[in-house]
Amino acid sequence: MLSSTGFILRQRAYFFIAILLAAFLLVIGGEWLRIQQSVAQTPHQIFYVAPNGSDTHEGSITHPWATVNHAADVLKAGETVYIRAGIYTLEQQIQAKHSGTADAWITYSAFPGEPVIIDAKAIAVASPSGTPPFAHDQGAFQLENVAYIKVKNLEIINSHNSSITVRNSQYIDLYNNKTENTFSPGIGIWESTHQKVMGNTVVNANAPEMAGYPHDLSETPHEAISLGTVENFEVAYNLVQYGQKEGIDIKGKSQHGTVHHNYVHHMERQGLYVDGWSGLLEDVEVFNNVVHDCQGAGFVVSVEGKSAAAKNIRFHHNLLYENWGTGILLSKWGNDGLREDVKIDHNTVHHNGYGPPNPGDKFYWITGGLYLFSDNLQSIAIKNNIFSENNGFQIGYSDSYLKNSSKIEEVFQQKQIDISHNLVSGVNNAKNPIYAGWPPDNYANIYGTNGNYALADNPPQFINAKFGNFYLESAPTIDKTRPIGAFPYGEKPDLWWHTTEFPPKFSESSDFRF
């Protein structure tokens, strides 16, 4: 028989357990209600477009829409459109009409595993008139004055302007798209913030034959991937090839961004370009890129615009080889504005500058490994790079550096130009300059320099330069502790740009924001 004391203790235990259970259910119930309210506030509805659809349909998988244009007209925050396999011929520009939100992006995507081709050849593009932006500065797919939109896995071809243009927008992600045959950029982004250009393929951009009007332009507009006055950006893991101008250009007043793990080859001008216009371009980091077989330079830093400057540019761990022009060029183009606080380190620059010379010239118009053509530079660091077998010189400076002093060491000290701890292998004559340039008045005597603490006349032992493997068989360290070049000695070679899986595919789970 239970005593009165035992009965009371048991009752208290039951009461305590009941309180705990009630509290637990209250917490769980509140969390469940919060989740339901969140879902209710950010609905995620999926629609479909298919070649056999109709824009009068409901947009379901069994009753899809017919055009991406219609999807762009009606999609709202949190909604996704999947485009089924097929070729879609545009009759007018696609214009995204609505924005997503931070918690409810709008997504335009090919249906998983299905190829989608959007052909823009039928869209008429007027000749330039008035003030920019001109019609050729716009895109077959236009994202203007919008935010929080993803465009994924689409192929947009035959555009008389750009394939994809982003203008005055924020938080736009372009993943794993392909553009081919465009008069302007494959991808152009202007006056925007928080932009990601990841895993895209851009082929035959800036093609004169794609003009939609008779034109006498000396060149086509912009570059294959152009970012003009863009803040907080990432351009990465893109394949840019066989274009008729530059590869990737960060220009205008762009700030706070990275350009990395891009593979750029067979362009008719520069592979990678950073160029200030109409203000300050700053805080741009360019790293882990591969550039070869471009008819211009591998990488250029310029300030072409008036009242413009560039500062805090970092260029490191890049591979530049077999380009017709200079591996790395600090140019005099345009207004030749100030470049300040530029760091160039841990790059491998091999066998550049062997393009065909103009009649009567000995060297290609821009040649060598790294060329300091402009002297409008301040606080420049060139360290821990490999310069090997480049034509004419490995590291060179133009005779404009000697206009006020014949002692280059004093000039470099005054400008805070630090060239040190580089491996320099190949012709690099400091006493007998070469003469190179282009008409009418851009020729210069170019002097070679090893800088300080160089490892000279010691050819780097690349594993297989002929096949693009520039990892090192031995460590050419200068002080036994300092790594040098783009690829650390001792690491297993990772030729990511040579794989059949490049560009890599970005899924929702791998998306990230900086």
What pLDDT digit, counting tens, does each position of 180-198 carry?
999 999 999 999 999 999 9
Q: Give how far Cα 422 sits from Cα of 325, 344, 415, 483, Å.
A: 20, 11, 19, 10
- Position 8 scores a pLDDT of 43
- Position 29 scores a pLDDT of 44
- Position 28 scores a pLDDT of 37
- d(Cα 267, Cα 292) in Å, to the nearest integer? 9
In degrees, to the nearest 5, what angle opens at C-alpha 187 toward C-alphas 366 and 199? 95
- Position 478 scores a pLDDT of 62
- d(Cα 256, Cα 237) in Å, to the nearest integer? 18
In DSSP terms, which residues pair with 255 in a beta bridge? 231, 282
Look over the chain and give the mean of its residue pLDDT values, rounded to a whole number: 91
In percent, the amount of the chain with pLDDT more than 90 equals 82
Checking if the pLDDT of 179 tops 80, the result is yes
pLDDT, average across residues 477-493: 83
- d(Cα 261, Cα 245) in Å, to the nearest integer? 20
Checking if the pLDDT of 1 tops 60, the result is no
Q: How many CB atoms lie within 10 A of CB 215?
A: 13
pLDDT, average across residues 90-97: 98
Specify the DSSP element, H or E, that contains 155.
strand 155-159
- Position 507 scores a pLDDT of 75
- Position 13 scores a pLDDT of 46
What pLDDT digit, counting tens, does each position of 427-465 carry?
998 889 999 999 999 999 999 999 999 999 889 999 999
Biggest CA–CA distance in the chain, Å, is 119
What domain count does the chain have?
Answer: 2
- d(Cα 375, Cα 400) in Å, to the nearest integer? 7
Side chain identity, residue 441: D
Checking if the pLDDT of 222 tops 90, the result is yes
| C-alpha closest to that of 393 among 357, 356, 349, 358 | 349
- d(Cα 39, Cα 310) in Å, to the nearest integer? 46
| C-alpha closest to that of 476 among 424, 420, 418 | 424
The confidence band for 312, taking pLDDT boundaries of 50, 70 and 90, is very high
- Position 491 scores a pLDDT of 87
Checking if the pLDDT of 77 tops 90, the result is yes
The confidence band for 213, taking pLDDT boundaries of 50, 70 and 90, is confident
Q: In 3-state terms, what secondary structure has residue 73?
A: helix
**Does residue 230 lie within any of the structural domains?**
no
Q: Give how far Cα 190 sits from Cα of 3, 245, 420, 512, Å.
A: 84, 18, 38, 22
Checking if the pLDDT of 166 tops 50, the result is yes
- d(Cα 23, Cα 223) in Å, to the nearest integer? 62
What pLDDT digit, counting tens, does each position of 264-290 carry?
999 999 999 999 998 999 999 999 999
What pLDDT digit, counting tens, does each position of 107-161 carry?
999 999 999 999 999 999 988 888 989 888 899 999 999 999 999 999 999 999 9
**Does residue 153 lie within any of the structural domains?**
no
**Does residue 192 lie within any of the structural domains?**
no
In DSSP terms, which residues pair with 309 in a beta bridge? 280, 338
Q: How many CB atoms lie within 10 A of CB 4?
A: 7
**Does residue 348 lie within any of the structural domains?**
yes
Checking if the pLDDT of 483 tops 70, the result is yes
pLDDT, average across residues 316-338: 98
- d(Cα 154, Cα 459) in Å, to the nearest integer? 45
- d(Cα 9, Cα 11) in Å, to the nearest integer? 5
Checking if the pLDDT of 481 tops 60, the result is yes
- d(Cα 119, Cα 269) in Å, to the nearest integer? 27
**Does residue 491 lie within any of the structural domains?**
yes
**Does residue 205 lie within any of the structural domains?**
no
Residue 36, domain extent: 15-42
Checking if the pLDDT of 7 tops 50, the result is no
Checking if the pLDDT of 31 tops 50, the result is no
- Position 482 scores a pLDDT of 84
Whether the CB-CB separation of 426 and 388 falls below 8 Å is answered with: yes
In percent, the amount of the chain with pLDDT more than 70 equals 89
In degrees, to the nearest 5, what angle opens at C-alpha 152 toward C-alphas 147 and 158? 100
In DSSP terms, which residues pair with 106 in a beta bridge? 149
Checking if the pLDDT of 41 tops 50, the result is no
- d(Cα 448, Cα 450) in Å, to the nearest integer? 7
**Does residue 369 lie within any of the structural domains?**
yes
What pLDDT digit, counting tens, does each position of 247-267 carry?
999 999 999 999 999 999 999
Whether the CB-CB separation of 56 and 74 falls below 8 Å is answered with: no
Whether the CB-CB separation of 305 and 278 falls below 8 Å is answered with: yes
The confidence band for 426, taking pLDDT boundaries of 50, 70 and 90, is very high
Q: In 3-state terms, what secondary structure has residue 262?
A: coil
What pLDDT digit, counting tens, does each position of 376-396 carry?
999 999 999 999 999 999 999
Report residue 86 as tokens.
């097929």
- Position 185 scores a pLDDT of 98
The confidence band for 509, taking pLDDT boundaries of 50, 70 and 90, is very low
The confidence band for 40, taking pLDDT boundaries of 50, 70 and 90, is very low
Which residue carries 């400076």 as its tokens? 397
The confidence band for 513, taking pLDDT boundaries of 50, 70 and 90, is very low
Report residue 114 as tokens.
């299905």
Q: In 3-state terms, what secondary structure has residue 400?
A: helix
**Does residue 132 lie within any of the structural domains?**
no
Q: In 3-state terms, what secondary structure has residue 74?
A: helix
